Structure 1
Amino acid sequence: MRIALHQTRSHGLDTLDDAAREAAARGARLLLTPELSLTGYALADPAEHAEPADGPSAAAVSRIARRHGVAVVYGYPERGEGGAVHNSVRLVGPDGRALADYRKTHLYGPYEAEHYTPGTRLPVQAVLDGLTLGLLVCYDVEFPEAVRAHALAGTDVLLVPTALMRPYDTVATTLVPARAVESQLYVAYANRAGREGEFDFAGLSCLAAPDGTVPARADGEAHTVLVADADPALLRTSRENNPYLADRRPELYPSRAEPVPSLTRPEPDPV
């Protein structure tokens, strides 16, 4: 599957339409955009921009996907049950049909904790062109448990819209490729670049492969559409050569460790 990763300083439907046009022209089957790609990340009050999952923006993105014949992953503030606001992403197929919806489960920092309600469903997956695609958002991928849950559920390509800020470049350069290797899947990671409000985004979008390679990587500043292939043959071979999932010993990984007995120094014998 040829995947396009949009690293951008801007946001909105026009930006997404331009990226989808370029992705399709370069033979991509799927376009991954950054976290909150429809509204931008630095919102004074995300609730003012929130829409239902099937709101007007969803209809507009479906038209874009159909027009260019490319699947799209986009982010937006979702108005959920009881008025809760979620940091959400939707995967739309190349026919414009919604394939999966995911609400960010691990909120980052006081800004997100103040404005968003965390999701409670993991993993979220869909199948496109014979590959199982999974969804996470930004901070989620920094938790090995979240990525391993996808691996155990059969995810082949993990799609991660992100808004990684400086100075945490090591997440993109070191941690994301490590996640791909340790869980034996592709990780597609699309970031924002440059300043937006008080936030300075690190760029460094990439596609990381399960064999430890990084077929595509942007620099820290570029406004670009990266294109690279997730190869099912490489995925099969890498999983055969690196059977981490099969060799796991979950009986040794309790969810809660046994209490460690305290050691005290014995009292000296009286003289």
Structure 2
Amino acid sequence: MPTLRLALHQGPAGVPRTAEDGLAALDDAARAAAAGGARLLVTPELSLTGYALGDGVDGRAETADGPSARAVSRIAAAHGIAVVYGYPERDPDSGALHNSAALVGADGRVLAGYRKTHLYGDYETGHFTPGDRLLVQADLEGVRTGLLICYDVEFPEAVRAHALAGTELLVVPTALMRPYDFVAETVLPARAWENQLYVAYADRAGREGDFDFAGLSCLAAPDGSVPARAGRDEALLVADVDTALLHASRARNTYLTDRRAALYTT
């Protein structure tokens, strides 16, 4: 059964002044992750632009196939590593802005794109339109990989929907703020355990404007362990998603097969 080595990039702190600055930071992280043997790099929510853009988010938004997307594809292919990155997406038809994440393969091909479905706080609800497609998945080197963004993972229904749809690795770019450390420390491992999947959670670090980010990025495993955990500062974590452990854990901990769905109401 395949093992997928991934890297979680916590950072960089602050808002990149230009699109080129954000891409340069991603390029540095991809180079370091690939040197560490990772096949997937996971970056935080809105990693290309920074989170605290305020009304400036409109000017930094791009379409899903815009110049930054093409640059990320070149970075992924140059370093031979798949990349999950966050960015403000402009819908080319409606003009609506979405808080989005994309998964690009190691050959530079776009494998999946996701628009955040659960918006958090006045900033997000005031600037973004929520997505309407919850289940976004792709096969990455034999591992069924799904995407959510930050607040989405705090809704148990969202993660359970992924588990029932066969997601083995749930990738969650995030911008978790203090004082909500318990989400990273307690909720994430619980989600991995109760749904019997891996959760890769990459947070921002430091302060941006009024936002003070928690850090504490982690990889949570289906057996209740946390193979990798960051502190508060910028960091690059490397850890393995072991599908043999995943399937053994699912055989022992049969939450998904023991469900009595007919008894549950929404």
TM range (shorter): over 0.9
Matches within 5 A, 1:70-81: 70-80=81-91, 81=93
How far apart in 2 are the matches of 1:219 and 1:5?
12
SS in 1 for 2:38: coil
Per-residue deviation at 1:129? Answer: 0.8
How far did residue 254 of structure 1 move?
Answer: 1.6
Distance 1:63 1:24 in 2: 14
Corresponding position: 1:157 with 2:169: yes
**Residue identity opposite 1:62 in structure 2:** S
- For residues 47 and 171 of structure 1, the distance between their equivalents in structure 2, rounded to whole angstroms, comes to 29
- Structure 1 residue corresponding to 2:31, chosen from 11, 21, 31: 21
Corresponding residue number in structure 2 for 1:240: 251
Question: Which one scores higher on RCO, CA 8 angstroms, separation ≥ 6?
Answer: 2
How big is the shift at 1:164?
Answer: 0.2
Match of 1:266 in 2: none
Q: What SS does the corresponding residue of 1:225 show, helix, strand or coil?
A: strand
Partner Cα distance (2:27, 2:130) in 1: 29
Q: Is the 8 Å Cα contact of residues 164 and 256 (structure 2) preserved in structure 1? A: yes
Q: CA deviation at 1:32?
A: 0.1
* Distance across 1 between alignment mates of 2:209 and 2:73: 29
Provide the secondary structure at the position in 1 that maps to 2:222: coil
Cα distance in structure 1, aligned partners of 2:10 and 2:258: 36
- 1:39-84 Cα shifts (integer Å, max 9, x gaps): 0000122111110000000000000000000000000000013110
TM-score (norm 1): 0.93
Alignment of 1:252-271 (within 5 A): 252-255=263-266
Q: Residue in 2 aligned with 1:202? A: 214
1:171-226 alpha-carbon deviations (Å, 9 max, x no partner) = 00000000000000000000011101110000000000000000000012x21110
Partner SS state of residue 83, structure 1:
coil
Larger Rg: 1
Percent identity at matched positions? 72
Question: Is residue 215 of structure 2 the alignment partner of residue 212 of structure 1?
Answer: no
Q: Is the 8 A contact 2:54 2:123 kept in 1?
A: no
AA partner of residue 25 (structure 1): A
Within-5 A mapping of 1:130-141 = 130-141=142-153
Matched, 1:62 2:57: no
State the alpha-carbon separation in 1 of the partners of residues 58 and 129 from structure 2. 11
SS at match of 2:27: helix
**Which residue of structure 1 aligns with residue 198 of structure 2?**
186
What amino acid maps onto 1:61 in structure 2?
V
Superposition TM-score, scaled by structure 2 size: 0.94
SS at match of 2:129: coil
Q: How far 1:133 sits from its partner (Å)? A: 0.2
Unaligned 5+ runs, structure 1: 256-271
Q: Aligned with 2:50: secondary structure?
A: coil
Match of 1:126 in 2: 138
Quick one: distance in 1 between partners of 2:118 and 2:6? 25
How large is the Cα RMSD of the aligned pairs? Answer: 0.7
Letter in 2 for 1:20: A
The answer to whether the Cα contact below 8 Å between 2:34 and 2:81 also exists between their aligned partners in 1 is yes
Q: Which residue of 2 aligns with 1:96?
A: 108
